[in-house]
Amino acid sequence: MLHIHPVPAFRDNYIWVIHNQSNAVVVDPGDATPVIEFLTHNQLQLKAILITHHHSDHTGGVAQLCRWREVPVYGPATETIATVTHPLCETGQINIPELPLYLTVLDIPGHTLGHIAYYRREPFNMVFCGDTLFSCGCGRIFEGTPQQMYQSLQKLAQLPDDTLIYCTHEYTLGNVAFARTIDPDNNDLMDFERKAQQLRQQNTPTIPTALKQERAINPFLRCEQSAIIASAQQHAGKPLPDPIAVFTVLREWKNRF
Ligand code: ZN
Ligand code: FE
């Protein structure tokens, strides 16, 4: 049985540790210290490190972790990350028999150009998607185009309903506040806000979130819904021809929200 544990880092990052109570894999360790503490305290053997993209809050702890335990480091083939030993892109696979853990790779450019996600099918679908799909939101577009980001989100949105989304930041309540202004009559969103507020009051992560839930509440996955189109058009002051145009307006609006 696999356990997936969030190690909090910095202000709002989660470093995900996937383990079976003896062996562990770590995703996006921006800081080594809390990871080493967690692994040591729980007597877990580090077997591999996975990286979704090159930003330092996702990679900053890798060198120190590799000095502590020499393990393979998987990461995006098209980004320059000195510590990566196993570069990957869309057709890539990872097999870690000690857990066991089998993952496939999805290219999801937009936040950065080489950004990848790690997807695990059966028996429980889950995806480690870095800074691309957040609960009720999405990552900023630093390197790609709005069209690339939109297509990457659509790729993630086509995974099975029960796929659990393990993103790397606790941005949920801020994202919900934005979503409420553009989708004010969405009852699922209001219910979700109450649940998310309760979790945060108890200092509990709102992540993971299920894809089915995200399709109901996340405005960036709902760019073809009439309420979202209406809000985006009103904000833009002009008609918007397609979902990518709606997405582009929403993403720029959120940057200044
Ligand atoms: Zn990032
Ligand atoms: Fe980040």
DSSP H helices, the chain, are: 32-41, 56-59, 62-68, 146-157, 172-182, 187-201, 211-217, 226-236, 243-255
Nearest residue to 105 via CA among 122, 87, 123: 87
Nearest listed ligand to the Cα of residue 30: 2
Expressed in angstroms and rounded, the spacing between residue 53 Cα and the centre of ligand 1 is: 7
Expressed in angstroms and rounded, the spacing between residue 237 Cα and the centre of ligand 1 is: 31
Residue 34, pLDDT score:
98
Nearest listed ligand to the Cα of residue 79: 1
Expressed in angstroms and rounded, the spacing between residue 199 Cα and the centre of ligand 2 is: 21
Nearest listed ligand to the Cα of residue 112: 1
User: Helices 243-255 and 226-236 meet at what angle, rounded to 10?
Assistant: 60
Which residues in the chain show pLDDT less than 50?
Answer: none
Nearest listed ligand to the Cα of residue 55: 1
DSSP per-residue letters across 163-183? -EEEESB--HHHHHHHHHHHS
Expressed in angstroms and rounded, the spacing between residue 216 Cα and the centre of ligand 1 is: 25
The amino acid at 28 = D
Count the neighbouring beta carbons within 10 Å of the beta carbon of residue 126: 23
Expressed in angstroms and rounded, the spacing between residue 117 Cα and the centre of ligand 1 is: 13
Expressed in angstroms and rounded, the spacing between residue 111 Cα and the centre of ligand 1 is: 7
Are the C-beta atoms of 217 and 192 separated by less than 8 Å? Answer: yes
Whether residue 241 has a cis bond before it, omega within 30° of 0: no
Residue 11, pLDDT score:
97
Residue 122, pLDDT score:
79
Expressed in angstroms and rounded, the spacing between residue 53 Cα and the centre of ligand 2 is: 9
- Helix, strand and coil content of the chain, in percent to the nearest 5, comes to 35, 25, 40
Residue 48, pLDDT score:
98
Count the neighbouring beta carbons within 10 Å of the beta carbon of residue 103: 24
Expressed in angstroms and rounded, the spacing between residue 60 Cα and the centre of ligand 2 is: 11
Expressed in angstroms and rounded, the spacing between residue 1 Cα and the centre of ligand 1 is: 30
Nearest listed ligand to the Cα of residue 57: 2
Residue 38, pLDDT score:
98
Q: Distance between CA atoms of 82 and 75, rounded to whole angstroms?
A: 10
Total-model pTM: 0.98
Expressed in angstroms and rounded, the spacing between residue 62 Cα and the centre of ligand 2 is: 15
Residue 123, pLDDT score:
83
Expressed in angstroms and rounded, the spacing between residue 239 Cα and the centre of ligand 1 is: 32
Nearest listed ligand to the Cα of residue 10: 2
Question: pLDDT digit string (tens) for 233-257?
Answer: 999 999 999 999 999 999 999 999 9
Residue ranges and CATH numbers for the domains of the chain are: 1-91 (3.60.15.10)
Nearest listed ligand to the Cα of residue 111: 1
Expressed in angstroms and rounded, the spacing between residue 140 Cα and the centre of ligand 1 is: 8
